[in-house]
Amino acid sequence: MFISLEDVYIFLGIITIAGSIYTFLDRKNSRRITSGLFYCLYGVTLLFGKVIPPFYMGLLAIVLVLIAGFGGLKIGSYNEASVEERQNNRKRLGNKLFIPALLIPILTVAGSVGLKGVKIGGTFVLDQTSLTLVSLGAAAFIALIVGLVMTKNKPGTAIKESRRLMESIGWAAVLPQLLATLGTVFTTAGVGTVVSKLVGNVIPTHSLFWVVFAYCIGMALFTMIMGNAFAAFPVMTAGIAVPLLINQFGVNANHVAAIGMFAGYCGTLMTPMGANFNIVPAALLDLKDKYQVIKVQVPTALIILGVNTLLMYLFSL
């Protein structure tokens, strides 16, 4: 293929490492060495993920955790454009500013739909196994070129601006990947089977309603622990839905699965473990309270969880 997911990671690594150079040189940041080291090493893990052996990768991840965990990260200074500058630029470019911004979703969709299975000279244009991600990478790159031409800014400005955004996200950028590692350890240590046994022991198995209730709430709770409904689904379904709902009550597997998965998504909306959905955006939007996105989502999540439980029960009658 012409563009693979690894190529996108290489681009990520380069912009992150290039940004860290500005951090190392940022005299106004009292922790510029440790902060710079954090972003530089993170860039290294992105850039060389394929070549670094897993054990050393694990050590690198732990170094990142130690730097961030013991206060090594400080926000720097960015020579940001003043409000006046931004207003002047805005008037200069006006609605044209939307073009590169909208190019990202448009080209991502175009790539993931239009370049599916497309080959030139016998090779796929884009990596077919992770088409959406590669399309997003290519789309953002094209949008960047268009943006640079349009604004007549230098590429270095884009790196500096990307560093500004990256540092405002800070440690939260690494959290989703780290949580995925925790999920792996939980799975190999058998946390899932313990949880589904616990839930299985508590519920009255002769009542259809309480089995449905236990399955839906269990999906949500276990998803909150793992941060991911996909990890919760096999465990809870094998533990509760298959033996009790499907085998004992003879309920149809299709709606149990569809609604059970949604019950899990309700859990995702309520947990800091779903960091890429809940914590990263809070950092990205400069929210003071990193849990505010979760707080806003909880009422909707609880109502829909109730709706899911009721729907699954009614459809199972």
Partner 1 sequence: MVLIGVVIVIIGFIIRLNPLLVVTLAGLVTGLVAHQSLYSIITQFGQAFTTNRYMAVFIVTLPIIGLLERNGLREQAEHVVSKIKAATTGRILTVYFIIREVAAAVGLTSIGGHAQMVRPLVAPMAEGAAEAKYGEVPEEVRDKIRAHSAAVDNIGVFFGEDVFVAVGAILLMQGFFEQNHIHSDPLKMALWAIPTAIAALIVHAIRLYLLDRSLDRTLGNKASKNTPKKKEA
Q: How far is the CB of 121 from partner 1 (least distance, A)?
A: 26
Applying CB under 8 A, among 117, 120, 188, 201 the residue interacting with partner 1 is: 188
Q: Does 200 bind partner 1 (CB under 8 A)?
A: no
According to CB under 8 A, which residues from 287 to 316 bind partner 1? 287-289, 292-293, 295-297, 299-300, 303-304, 307-308, 311, 315
Tokens of 208: 């259809």
# residues near partner 1 by CB under 8 A: 141
Q: How far is the CB of 122 from partner 1 (least distance, A)?
A: 26
* Maximum CA extent, the chain: 70
Q: Tell me how far apart the terminal alpha carbons of the chain are, to the nearest angstrom.
A: 50
According to CB under 8 A, which residues from 255 to 294 bind partner 1? 255, 257-259, 261-262, 265, 268-269, 272-273, 275-282, 284-289, 292-293
Q: How far is the CB of 127 from partner 1 (least distance, A)?
A: 11
Q: How far is the CB of 202 from partner 1 (least distance, A)?
A: 15
- Between 29 and 176, CB nearer to partner 1: 176
According to CB under 8 A, which residues from 77 to 136 bind partner 1? 80-81, 86-95, 97-98, 100-101, 104-105, 108-109, 112-113, 130, 132-133, 135-136
Applying CB under 8 A, among 22, 124, 233, 313 the residue interacting with partner 1 is: 233
- Between 85 and 206, CB nearer to partner 1: 85
Q: Which stretch binds partner 1 (CB under 8 A): 20-28, 200-208, 212-220, 235-243?
A: 235-243
Q: How far is 143 from 106, CA to CA, in rounded Å? A: 10
- Between 122 and 166, CB nearer to partner 1: 166
| Partner residues linked to 287 by β-bridges | none
- Between 82 and 121, CB nearer to partner 1: 82
According to CB under 8 A, which residues from 48 to 77 bind partner 1? 49-50, 52-62, 64-65, 68-69
Q: How far is 115 from 134, CA to CA, in rounded Å? A: 11
Q: Is 216 exposed, middle or buried (0-12, 13-18, 19+ CB in 10 A)?
A: buried
Applying CB under 8 A, among 15, 21, 40, 44 the residue interacting with partner 1 is: 15
Q: How far is the CB of 207 from partner 1 (least distance, A)?
A: 22
Q: Does 202 bind partner 1 (CB under 8 A)?
A: no
Applying CB under 8 A, among 3, 9, 196, 214 the residue interacting with partner 1 is: 9
Applying CB under 8 A, among 8, 37, 115, 220 the residue interacting with partner 1 is: 8
Applying CB under 8 A, among 33, 114, 149, 190 the residue interacting with partner 1 is: 190
Determine the residue type at 161.
E
Question: Helix 83-93 and helix 131-151: axis angle, to 10°?
Answer: 90
- In our burial notation (b when 16+ CB lie closer than 10 A, e otherwise), range 114-153 reads ebeeeeeeeebbbbeebbebbbbbbbbbebbeebeeebee
Q: Does 159 bind partner 1 (CB under 8 A)?
A: yes
